[in-house]
Structure 1
Amino acid sequence: MNQEYIQPNEWSIIEEGFDREKVKSSESLFSIGNGAMGQRANFEEHYSGKTFQGSYIAGVYYPDKTRVGWWKNGYPEYFAKVLNAPNWIGINVFINGVALDLNTCKKVKNYRRELNMKEGWYKRNFVAQLSNDVDVAVEATRFLSLDIDEMGAIQYELKVLNSDAAIKMTPYLDSGITNEDSNWDDKFWNTTNISSHRNRAFIEAHTMKTNFATCTFMEASAVLNGVKLQGKVCDKKETWIGLEFEQLLKKGEKITLHKFGGYTVSRNHKASDLVDVANKVLDKTTQLGFDAQLQKQKEAWAAIWKMSDIVIEGDVKAQQGIRFNIFQLNQTYLGKDSRLNIGPKGFTGEKYGGSTYWDTEAYCIPFYMATKDQQVARNLLKYRYDQLGKAIENAKKLGFKNGAALYPMVTMNGEECHNEWEITFEEIHRNGAIAFAIYNYYRYTGDYSYIPEMGLEVLIGIARFWHQRATFSSHKNKYVILGVTGPNEYENNINNNWYTNYLAKWCMEYTINQIEKVRKEHSSDYARIMNDTQLSETEIVEWNNVFSNMYFPFSDEYQVFLQQDGFLDKELVRVQDLPKTERPINQKWSWDRILRSPYIKQADVLQGFYFFEDHFSIEQLERHFDFYEPFTVHESSLSPCVHSIQAAKLDRMEQAYTFYLRTSRLDLDDYNKEVEEGLHITSMAGTWMSIVEGFGGMRIAENTLSFTPKIPKQWEAYAFKINFRNNIVKVRVTTKETSFFVEGDTHITINVDGKKVNLPPFKEINV
């Protein structure tokens, strides 16, 4: 049974009723972010129950020394911890000397929290009866500004309901925080200075080892009956400072506290200037005030939704799911800073560490290409180019030579920092996803300039890796790739993973084609690149020999490519024949049993069919889908979206819809029983793909935008926009027809169900 306590709503995530067992899950689901920082939905007031405290600053991390039983050559020195940053949201509240703590209150009534996705704010309401029988009503609203991305704002309103009471409210900063996970219980932060000025406070601290300097800051003010109250600075502690507001409240009176806070960081400013910059941020913020800042927040989100919204008519849960996914993607990454990327948990938890996986290239880039300016996607590709030197170093540590590049599975700065050997050393298909993203970017945007300027050097490093990683088998008279883990992480250290081998073949062939294109069309870039990489014709001939003679395991009996050499040696029991009590298997089975089973964590062969669908016939797709889908347990967040897209292509709309709901509500309904650890941010881009590429059938075919629209029977209509080569195309699909509308001055031609359709600007065309 999945959780179902989130109320269906088209624009908001709503929880009603206080349940201690759901606190940690809700802290994930109601998380907020603005691309530069983010935080879990922890309570402002103290909470003594089970909680997962989490505030995060983009790009700030700690290299936690790797902890393994025995060391392996080439092993990463550290695991990059996404750091829990100093806490600026805290507000201690005392009523007649008793702490407001929902875990110890006699009663909690009218509890409600809402994450308003349309306007970008989070609100919590409740009535609590304390142990001293005083009843209070609280309404707390907060947001992280898109306008001033170093700042967040809180409005905390408290009313005494049944008696007069002495109220003490203490907004504070605290740098004495720890991570949920730590290999050695290291101290991650060193607090260097605590200061205050009037109603402002500052904590300067830096990370150990990486030495990111930060200033956590706040300004607080309180108002009662229109009169501003005088606060005082509390006694400083070693890692803590607070401002104190004390007042006698009469029955029915309401006190309103405003708290502005956030972080300035040495990634963006001189370390010596962080307090000065924080003061300027607070000057700007307080000059506008809470209400004006909230209005700016609403306007900023309105602009985002104008381009990225997907409207679904007739299915509230499906509508809520897609908007939740789009909202979280935009909270995580807005494309402003090419040094940043999209972590799999975003700003919602610490699991996995690192700031990027292959998820970005495989799943996220299509979303950002289509819903924002192409420069945003280009920044994601530039991120990999800027880390090419580190990718070459990573490969060298493993014994590769001559500029071969192995991009990391997990990274913050280009260095590999993942600690599971079967992934660190073996999940090398990540290299192929990066090459595919370069191809996909050009295919979609038509912007070839990235390849001669940056991309070709990345492709050459990757092709060199595949050339050296392949082994010639005299037994098979083919090149093989041994000892790998494919996307299906429920098979480790296997030989000839079809997806990996196919990517390797494609990468080398594609790189050779791009070398020739750059040679002909960008001669100066070609000369520079050949000089820098020292690439020889002999090397290219060797690549050609490898990719032309790559081995692919195939079953004559089933007429399918095999996921890996030994797949048919397994006991092929379908998922539907597994007792439900044994699911999910990653929580119920031993790892040994999982590895010997036929069960697939996520699309593997089918992932290759998704990337390269034009290489295979519809009959081949159907045969492979029918063979592999029954063994897929979808215990990776990245799996259902690929299956949804392919089911729609095969006209299996009920199955496609089921997979869509699973990917769109993966966290809202907690399918994998782990949402309290954080959200699955990168798979959320797959949800967008499920609609646009799955139901909408959007593709780039022969350099032309094309659609094969379909609609689930549960929907009355759906609509989305895409930015295709600076033309905004709006698509609306109903049960009867599809309409297209181009915003802009350009006349474009598209394909719909294989037929050309001319779209004049600002005129709706029905098909």
Structure 2
Amino acid sequence: MNQDYITPNEWSIIENGFDKSNVKSSESLFSLGNGAMGQRANFEEDYSGPSFQGSYIGGIYYPDKTRVGWWKNGYPEYFAKVLNAPNFIGIHITIEGETFDLNTCKEVKNFKRELNMKEGWHKRSFIATLPNDIQIEVEATRFLSLAHNEVGVINYNITPLNASANISYAPYIDAGITNQDSNWDDKFWNILGSQTEDHQAFIRSHTMKTNYQVCTFMESRLLINHEQVELSPEVFKTDAKVALKYTTKVNANDCFTLQKIAGYTTSLNYAEDQLINAAKQVLQTTNQLGYLQLLQEQKEAWSSIWEMSDISINGDVKAQQGIRFNIFQLNQTYTGTDHRLNIGPKGFTGEKYGGSTYWDTEAYCLPFYMATKNQEVAKNLLKYRYKHLDKAIENAEKLGFENGAALYPMVTMNGEESHNEWEITFEEIHRNGAIAFAIFNYHRFTNDYSYIVDMGMEVLIAIARFWQQRATFSKQKNQYVILGVTGPNEYENNVNNNFYTNYMAKWCIDYMLENFEILKENYPEDFSRILHKTKLTEVELTQMKAVSDKMYFPFSEEHQVYLQQDGFLDKEMIKVSDLDPKLRPINQYWSWDRILRSPYIKQADTLQGFYFFEDHFSTEELERHFDFYEPFTVHESSLSPCVHSIQAALLNRMDQAYQFYLRTSRLDLDDYNKEVEEGCHITSMAGTWMSIVEGFGGMRVKNNQLHFAPKIPSQWDSYSFKVNFRNQILTVTVSKSGVDFQLKGAEQIQVMVNGESRTIQAETVSA
């Protein structure tokens, strides 16, 4: 049974009623972020019940020594951990000497927690009775500022209801933080010192090994009945923690407010000896603005984001809530302003998976950012990979590849491979193809060729070199084969000739050769520069073309489908529908040995190839492959339902497409995988966007032109979305009666709708 405590609402995630068993799940679902940092929705006040503390700073990590009982050449030495950063939200609260803790309260009523996605804030409100029988009303609002991305803002109100009371607020910052997923219980942070000044406090610390310097800071303001009061703090300091305690007598029904501005300055952006001065400057700027102005700026910043990225659905509140939750989390995780950052699978909502970058970014996330931001944001994601090219070449060298061949990492923070499961690290090499496909996808959508000229061609050459060296010529088949791989379906390891991997390898080589000719003809100076830098030879080009021309793809004549890998039909082919539902998900009930011998598919694999290269296959071929593979797919990856939803829509199977859409859009809200307390599935959320825009909207770019084949689920009255196509904003509205377009831009555009050309006139936009 799925969780059902989240109230359906178009613009908010709402929890009504306090249930301790939901706390850790809610800490994930109500998480906050602003692209530069993020935090789980932990309570500000003390909480002694089960909780998963989590605050994270983008780009700051720790290389946790890999823990295995054996070692192989080329194995990553460490696993890059997303670091649990110093906690700046904390507030110790005592009321008549009693520590306020929801876990120990006699009663908690009227509890409501809301994540307002439209305006970008989180609020809790409730009435609690403490063990000393004092009853208080609490309202706590928090947000991470988009306008000032180094700060978070808290407005905490306590109103004693049944008696006057001495109330103490002790806001604190705490750098004595550990990760739940440490391999060796290493100390990740070293504290350099702390200081206080009036209502301000600062702790300087640095990460071990990587030596990122961080100043965690805070400043507080106190109010009674919304009027500022001057209270002198008592200072409490330990090696790791600084608290400033404010105490006053509060009359019954008076509101006592703590406003706390806190955050981080880091050596990513400042000289190490300037971190405290930078923090003071941030505090000066934000305190001059004040809580209400900062909140107003937050609302305006989110309004601007939603103006471009919103998808509205009429007639289906759960579907509407699902897509907005996904879009909200994507925008909290990555804003595109810093090419050093990327989109982690858990974003700022948890520690699982480590690293900040998987192939998810290129395969699933790029289309969302490309269509809902300006093209520089998407280009920054590609630039991130170019900056890591030398490390990708080093990664390949460690595995025995030569001559500038590159293997991009499965998991990384700085370009080095840091994944510590051998069947992924060494064998899930299809990730290389996603990097090349993202370059193609970016150019196809934006028509901006400059990235390929300036950076991308070097990446494509290095990837093509890898595929040429990784392929083996089989005399028996008289074709090139690729042995010992793991495809996107991680429920098969160490297989030969995974169709998707082989197809990607061929396509990458062909795409590089195509661009080689374009550069040679149209960009002679850049062509000469790239040849000189990469030392690419005619012999290599000939070898690459031979691999592409003679690549082997396993095929079943009986079923008329490409096989996921050579031995796929040797399995016991029992469909998912014939499995005992009590033993699902299989990854929680079956041994790994049993899973590997089964036909069950974690996520789109062969069908991932059909998704990327839709134009290479007929609709009949897609239908045949979909009907063959989907019945064996358990969808136990968050990345699975979105691809299947898009393909089901293309095949006019709208009921199935809709069910897959709900599964991807509400994966975390309904906790399908029973694991949301570990964090949200951020990268798959971009697939939810694709399910509507590419699936139901049928949007494609072909021959430099937008194409649409719109369909609408029977459960919806209408839906609309926007795309920024080459700096012109197109709004697409689909209803049961048809499709309408609105265009904001400089000139009209031609779009294809169900194969027919339509001219969309640009609206007049005032300067």
Name the TM-score, length of structure 1 as normaliser: 0.99
Aligned residue for 1:366, secondary structure, equals: helix
Say if 2:136 and 2:161, in contact at 8 Å, map to a contact too.
yes
| Counterpart residue number, 1:103 | 103
The AA in structure 2 aligned to 1:222 is L
Aligned pair in 2 of structure 1 residues 542, 491: CA closer, same or farther (>3 Å)? same
Question: 2:465, 2:315 → 1: CA distance?
Answer: 51
Superposed CA offset, 1:73-111 (max 9, x none): 100010000000000000010111111111111111111
- Does the alignment pair 1:495 with 2:499? no
| Counterpart residue number, 1:447 | 448
How far residue 251 of structure 1 moved from its aligned partner, in angstroms, is 1.4
The AA in structure 2 aligned to 1:547 is S
Superposed CA offset, 1:709-758 (max 9, x none): 00000000000000001110000000001001111121111100001101
The AA in structure 2 aligned to 1:12 is S
Question: 1:593, 1:186 → 2: CA distance?
Answer: 35
The AA in structure 2 aligned to 1:232 is P
| Counterpart residue number, 2:247 | 246
The AA in structure 1 aligned to 2:518 is K
The AA in structure 2 aligned to 1:524 is E
How far residue 763 of structure 1 moved from its aligned partner, in angstroms, is 8.4
Say if 1:309 and 1:326, in contact at 8 Å, map to a contact too.
yes
Aligned residue for 2:652, secondary structure, equals: coil
Aligned residue for 2:762, secondary structure, equals: coil
Say if 2:646 and 2:690, in contact at 8 Å, map to a contact too.
yes
Question: 1:617, 1:651 → 2: CA distance?
Answer: 15
Superposed CA offset, 1:415-457 (max 9, x none): 0000000000000000000000000000000001110110000
**After the TM superposition, which residues 236-275 of structure 1 pair with which residues of structure 2 at under 5 Å, given as runs?**
236-275=237-276
Question: 2:11, 2:627 → 1: CA distance?
Answer: 37
How far residue 233 of structure 1 moved from its aligned partner, in angstroms, is 3.8
Question: 1:598, 1:169 → 2: CA distance?
Answer: 58
Aligned residue for 2:763, secondary structure, equals: coil
Higher mean displacement: 313-322 or 228-237: 228-237
How far residue 223 of structure 1 moved from its aligned partner, in angstroms, is 1.1
**After the TM superposition, which residues 50-65 of structure 1 pair with which residues of structure 2 at under 5 Å, given as runs?**
50-65=50-65
The AA in structure 1 aligned to 2:255 is K
Higher mean displacement: 405-414 or 249-258: 249-258
| Counterpart residue number, 2:472 | 471
| Counterpart residue number, 1:86 | 86
| Counterpart residue number, 2:322 | 321
Say if 2:234 and 2:246, in contact at 8 Å, map to a contact too.
no
Aligned residue for 1:234, secondary structure, equals: strand
Aligned residue for 2:393, secondary structure, equals: helix
- Does the alignment pair 1:692 with 2:693? yes
Question: 1:61, 1:108 → 2: CA distance?
Answer: 38
The AA in structure 2 aligned to 1:318 is A
Question: 2:522, 2:455 → 1: CA distance?
Answer: 15
- Does the alignment pair 1:409 with 2:405? no
**After the TM superposition, which residues 272-671 of structure 1 pair with which residues of structure 2 at under 5 Å, given as runs?**
272-671=273-672
Say if 2:745 and 2:763, in contact at 8 Å, map to a contact too.
yes
Question: 1:221, 1:119 → 2: CA distance?
Answer: 23
| Counterpart residue number, 1:69 | 69
The AA in structure 2 aligned to 1:23 is V
Question: 2:704, 2:697 → 1: CA distance?
Answer: 18
Superposed CA offset, 1:584-609 (max 9, x none): 01111111111011100000000000
| Counterpart residue number, 2:159 | 159
The AA in structure 1 aligned to 2:747 is T
How far residue 227 of structure 1 moved from its aligned partner, in angstroms, is 4.2
Question: 1:192, 1:110 → 2: CA distance?
Answer: 43
Question: 2:528, 2:292 → 1: CA distance?
Answer: 57
The AA in structure 2 aligned to 1:6 is I
The AA in structure 1 aligned to 2:178 is T
Question: 1:525, 1:623 → 2: CA distance?
Answer: 44
The AA in structure 2 aligned to 1:126 is F
Higher mean displacement: 532-541 or 243-252: 243-252
The AA in structure 1 aligned to 2:147 is D
Question: 2:19, 2:493 → 1: CA distance?
Answer: 40
Question: 1:216, 1:522 → 2: CA distance?
Answer: 49
Superposed CA offset, 1:447-484 (max 9, x none): 01110110000000000000000001111111000000
Question: 2:653, 2:232 → 1: CA distance?
Answer: 64
Say if 1:171 and 1:242, in contact at 8 Å, map to a contact too.
yes
| Counterpart residue number, 2:23 | 23
- Does the alignment pair 1:702 with 2:703? yes
How far residue 344 of structure 1 moved from its aligned partner, in angstroms, is 0.5
Say if 2:11 and 2:116, in contact at 8 Å, map to a contact too.
yes
How far residue 653 of structure 1 moved from its aligned partner, in angstroms, is 0.3
**After the TM superposition, which residues 182-201 of structure 1 pair with which residues of structure 2 at under 5 Å, given as runs?**
182-201=182-201
The AA in structure 2 aligned to 1:490 is Y
| Counterpart residue number, 2:3 | 3
Superposed CA offset, 1:315-337 (max 9, x none): 00000000000000000000000
| Counterpart residue number, 2:755 | 754
Question: 1:438, 1:406 → 2: CA distance?
Answer: 16
Question: 1:617, 1:45 → 2: CA distance?
Answer: 59
Say if 1:229 and 1:245, in contact at 8 Å, map to a contact too.
no
Say if 1:731 and 1:740, in contact at 8 Å, map to a contact too.
yes
Question: 2:626, 2:411 → 1: CA distance?
Answer: 30
Aligned residue for 1:462, secondary structure, equals: helix
Question: 2:232, 2:715 → 1: CA distance?
Answer: 56
Question: 1:300, 1:164 → 2: CA distance?
Answer: 40
| Counterpart residue number, 1:744 | 745
Name the TM-score, length of structure 2 as normaliser: 0.99
The AA in structure 2 aligned to 1:123 is K
Aligned residue for 2:209, secondary structure, equals: coil
| Counterpart residue number, 2:212 | 212
- Which segments of structure 1 move beyond 6 Å, counting only runs of 4 or more? none
Question: Could you say what the CA RMSD is over the residues aligned between the two structures, in angstroms?
Answer: 0.8
The AA in structure 2 aligned to 1:393 is E
Aligned residue for 2:520, secondary structure, equals: helix
Say if 1:221 and 1:231, in contact at 8 Å, map to a contact too.
no
The AA in structure 2 aligned to 1:20 is K
Question: 2:708, 2:83 → 1: CA distance?
Answer: 43
How far residue 236 of structure 1 moved from its aligned partner, in angstroms, is 1.1
Say if 1:601 and 1:633, in contact at 8 Å, map to a contact too.
yes
The AA in structure 2 aligned to 1:656 is A
Percent sequence identity over matched residues?
68
Question: 1:53, 1:356 → 2: CA distance?
Answer: 22
Instruction: Give ranges in structure 2 of 5+ residues lacking alignment.
Output: none
| Counterpart residue number, 2:44 | 44
Say if 1:118 and 1:305, in contact at 8 Å, map to a contact too.
yes
How far residue 229 of structure 1 moved from its aligned partner, in angstroms, is 3.2
Question: 2:675, 2:764 → 1: CA distance?
Answer: 47
Question: 1:581, 1:692 → 2: CA distance?
Answer: 35
Say if 1:742 and 1:763, in contact at 8 Å, map to a contact too.
no
Aligned residue for 1:746, secondary structure, equals: coil
- Does the alignment pair 1:171 with 2:171? yes
| Counterpart residue number, 1:134 | 134
How far residue 311 of structure 1 moved from its aligned partner, in angstroms, is 0.5
